[in-house]
Amino acid sequence: MNITRLHSRALGILFLLPFFAYGIGTALITSVLSEPGHLAAVAGQRTPFVGGALLLLLNSVTVVGIGVLFFPILRERSPSIAVAYVCTRVMEALLLIVGVVFLLSILQLGESAQGQTTPELETLSKLLSKGNFWAYQLAMIILGAGSVAFCLSLYRSRLLPSLLPLVGAVGYGLLALGSVLELFGLPWGTLFSGPGGLFELFLGGWLIAKGFRTVTPAVTA
């Protein structure tokens, strides 16, 4: 299929945008939650906290957009992978939204406490924070596992340089593995997420600068 430059650039932007949205959003929320006695102070820092949560929600919207825009491209060669990839991105987004709900519950908890924290409230705040952690790791497992076939489909399609989707397949596999290890208490998720993250950054830049190759699918008798 002939993929327009606008389509390619839109996909490239959607791959790059989550890094800024999720990175800045996480930094804003972490800056509040990392303070000693954060539950007592969270109500007074509502603006950065809610701003960070909104950026995390923007990230969820963009990952669904990636799946939707890739659907017509993947459908040309593998309709089943096209559907599976959209489902992967939707499930990733839903789990990330659940994580945001946990975080906003901490804000509500802090506002209800009115500066008077108790051990019970602190424990509940930690559980909500842990819920966000679990939701994120499960989202990364789904993203990693579901995106391996996506990368292999891109490799077979020859729409990109052959090495790029192969690196992506390995990177996404490591991402899923790292999140599984995180759930077992092994803090290796950040290390294992590096290759997959670099793939998405490079893919986004490539699609903006060069776009997809024009390839005519082979006609079978």
- Give per-residue pLDDT as tens, 78-128: 899 999 999 999 999 999 999 999 999 998 888 777 666 777 788 888 899
For residue 144, pLDDT beyond 90: yes
For residue 149, pLDDT beyond 50: yes
- Give per-residue pLDDT as tens, 129-143: 999 999 999 999 999
Three-state secondary structure call for residue 173: helix
Picking from 45, 215, 56, the residue whose alpha carbon sits closest to that of residue 139 is 56
- For residue 161, the 8-state DSSP code is -
d(CA 56, CA 63): 11
- Give per-residue pLDDT as tens, 184-216: 999 988 889 999 999 999 999 999 999 998 765
What pLDDT is attached to residue 1? 53
Reading the block at residue 82, the tokens are 């096209």
Three-state secondary structure call for residue 202: helix
- Give per-residue pLDDT as tens, 45-69: 889 999 999 999 999 999 999 999 9
